[in-house]
Amino acid sequence: MRILVSGASVAGPVLAYWLRRYGFDVTVVERAGSLRKTAGHAVDLFRPAVRVVERMGLREKIEAKKTGTDIVTLVAPRTGRRVDVKVANLTAAVSDEHIEVMRDELSTIFYEATREHVEYVFGDSIASIVEVSDGVEVTFERGDPRRFDLVVGADGLHSTVRRLTFGPEERFTTFIGAYLGVFSLPNYLNLDGQVLTYVDVGRLAGIYGDRHLGDARAIFLFHGEQIDYDYRDIEQQKQILRSRIASLGGEVGRLLEHMADSPAFYFDSITQVRMESWSRGRVTLVGDAGYSPGPAVGGGTSLAIVGAYVLAGELAAAGGDHVKAFTSYEREMHAPVLASRTFARGTARTLVPDSAGRLWAMVQAARLANALPTGLIRSLSKLQRGGARLHDEIRLKDY
Ligand SMILES: Cc1cc2nc3c(=O)[nH]c(=O)nc-3n(C[C@H](O)[C@H](O)[C@H](O)COP(=O)(O)OP(=O)(O)OC[C@H]3O[C@@H](n4cnc5c(N)ncnc54)[C@H](O)[C@@H]3O)c2cc1C
C-alpha cells in the first residue's frame, strides 16, 4: 500500500517511521528545499510523546539535543519585580516528563531515522488531489503526477492538503485573541539555560539562548483584536510587532533593534484548527494540519507525535482498511484534541495576563512555584480539573 505524506517537520516523519515499520510504502513531499536548520523555536515533548520516541529508539538522541533551559527569569518592568523560576517546577504542573528541544533539531532526528526506507521529495508541493475508485491521483507543482492509495496532510497550520480536500482555511481556523512573533538574533546577553521574560498587561517578550544554538531566539506574544495584515509583507509585520511591544521596557528596545537584520522572522496570529472530522475519503490530516491547538500555547508538538503514532497504528490494526482506521484514529484523538484546545486558550490567558490583577497573580504564582518542591506541585496540579495535565492523561495503545 502506497501512502503519500505532505510535510517533513514533526508529524510527517514520525508517521513515516511507524507506517514503514508496519510495512507500508511511504513517500514524503516537503515544500522547503531541505530541512531547515536555522531559526526554529523550542518545542515540548510531554510524557506520551516521550513514550513514542522511546519506542522509536530515539529518546537518547533527542535528550542529547535538549535545550537545557533551567531557569525562567520573570521581570515585570512596571513594578520592577524580578523572579527566577525553575523550569522543572513549571513543567511539573503539566506533565511528569518533559523534554524541550529545538523543533528543527527534532525533525532532523526523525528524518535521519527514516530517510533510508522512506522516499523524501524536497522542494515540491501537492497541487491537486483527485480520488478515483481504487486510489488517489495526485499532481505536484513540479514533479510528475502519481497515484497513491492514501494521502496524509502533515503540512502544518496552513495545510495545503486541508485546503484542497476540505476548503479554505478560514472555515476551520479560530483566532484565540493573541499574536506571536519569533526571530533569531546574536546571543549578546550570553544566555545559556535561561529564558529572560518581560511581562506586562497584554504583552510578553522573552529571549533565550541555548548551548547548541550559537545564537539566541526572541519570542513576543500580545493580546488584541484581529489585525488585517498581509502575511507576505514581513516589514509590515515587524512594524505591527514594534508598535505593540516597543514600550514594554527592560531589554525589549535592544531586542527590537536586532529584529531589523534578523535572518529569520516569524509572525502569525494564534489560531486553532477546529474540525468536526479531519478525514475525507482516502485523505486524512495529522498534527497541526488537523488539530493545531495554536502555536506556542497548547503542546502541539506532543499532540502531533501522538497523532502520528495513533494514525499509523490504527492503519496497521485495520490491515490498511482506511475507512475503519480513520474512524478509530479520530475516535482515539478526539479527547486529547479537545483538551489541548481548552488548555491552549487557558495558557494564552495566563501566559500573557490581561489585567493588572492577573499580572500580580502571575508573579505571585511564580514565587510560589519556586518555594514549593516539585513533588508537591505535581500532586497539587493532579487535583486540578480543566486539562492542565491533559498530556499525561493520554493512554497509548500498543499496536
Ligand atoms: C513560533 C512557534 C512557537 C512554538 N512553540 C511551541 C512550544 O513551545 N511547544 C510546543 O509543543 N509547540 C510549539 N509550537 C507548535 C509546534 O511547532 C507545532 O505544533 C508542531 O511543529 C507541529 O508539527 P507538524 O509536523 O504538525 O507541523 P509543522 O511543524 O508546522 O510542519 C509542517 C511542515 O509541512 C511543510 N509544508 C507546509 N506546506 C507544505 C506543502 N504545501 N507541501 C509540502 N510541505 C509543506 C512545512 O515546511 C513544514 O515542514 C510552536 C510553533 C510556532 C510557530
Comparison of pLDDT for 87 and 319, the residue scoring more: 319
Quote the longest CA-to-CA distance of the chain: 67
Q: If you measure from the C-alpha of residue 106 to the centroid of ligand 1, how many angstroms do you get, rounded to a whole number?
A: 11
pLDDT at residue 388, as a whole number: 55
Q: If you measure from the C-alpha of residue 111 to the centroid of ligand 1, how many angstroms do you get, rounded to a whole number?
A: 15
300-318 average pLDDT score: 97
Q: Tell which phi-psi region holds residue 270, choosing left (phi > 0), alpha (psi between -120 and 50) or beta.
A: beta
| Pocket mutation for ligand 1, best pick of 4, 31, 333 (most atoms within 8 Å of C-beta) | 31
Q: If you measure from the C-alpha of residue 306 to the centroid of ligand 1, how many angstroms do you get, rounded to a whole number?
A: 15
Please report, for the chain, the start and end positions of each structural domain, with discontinuous segments joined by +. Answer: 2-39+103-172+273-352
Q: For ligand 1, atom 23, which residue shows the shortest CA distance?
A: 10
Q: Which residues of 116-130 are buried (b: 16+ CB within 10 A; e: fewer)?
A: eebebbeeebbeebe
Q: If you measure from the C-alpha of residue 287 to the centroid of ligand 1, how many angstroms do you get, rounded to a whole number?
A: 8
Residue 50 pLDDT grade (very low, low, confident, very high; cuts 50, 70, 90):
very high
Structure letter (DSSP) for residue 396: P
The string of pLDDT tens digits covering residues 118-165 is: 999 999 999 999 999 899 999 999 999 999 999 999 999 999 999 999
Kindly list the protein residues whose Cβ atom lies closer than 6 A to any atom of ligand 1: 6-12, 29-32, 41-44, 103, 125, 154-157, 160, 180, 182, 266, 287-289, 295-296, 299-302, 304
pLDDT at residue 325, as a whole number: 98
Residue 34 pLDDT grade (very low, low, confident, very high; cuts 50, 70, 90):
confident
Give me the DSSP letters along 166-225: H--GGGTEEEEEEEEEEEEEE-TT--SSEEEEEEETTEEEEEEE-TTTSEEEEEEEEE-S
Structure letter (DSSP) for residue 226: -
Q: Which of 92-96, 249-253, 276-280, 370-374 has the lowest mean pLDDT?
A: 370-374
Query: Who contacts 341 (Cβ-Cβ below 8 Å, separation ≥6)?
Result: 272, 274, 293, 298
The string of pLDDT tens digits covering residues 282-303 is: 999 999 999 999 988 878 999 9
310-318 average pLDDT score: 98
Q: Please, are residues 107 and 156 in contact by the beta-carbon 8 Å criterion?
A: no
The string of pLDDT tens digits covering residues 194-219 is: 889 999 999 999 998 877 778 899 99
Q: For ligand 1, atom 4, which residue shows the shortest CA distance?
A: 296
pLDDT at residue 385, as a whole number: 47
| Pocket mutation for ligand 1, best pick of 4, 5, 10 (most atoms within 8 Å of C-beta) | 10
Q: Hunting for cell 516523519 — which residue is that?
A: 13
Pinpoint the alpha helices (H) of the chain.
Answer: 11-21, 47-55, 59-64, 87-92, 103-114, 160-166, 234-245, 252-259, 288-291, 300-317, 322-351, 356-371, 374-383, 390-393
Which residue type is seen at 182? V
| Pocket mutation for ligand 1, best pick of 101, 103, 128 (most atoms within 8 Å of C-beta) | 103
Phi, psi of 134, deg, nearest 5: -125, 30
Instruction: Judge residue 146's burial from the number of C-beta atoms within 10 Å of its C-beta, 0-12 exposed, 13-18 middle, 19 or more buried.
Output: middle
Q: How many residues does this entry show for the chain?
A: 399
Q: If you measure from the C-alpha of residue 105 to the centroid of ligand 1, how many angstroms do you get, rounded to a whole number?
A: 13
Give the CATH H-level superfamily of domain 2-39+103-172+273-352.
FAD/NAD(P)-binding domain (3.50.50.60)
Could you identify the atom of ligand 1 that is nearest to the CA of residue 299? 11
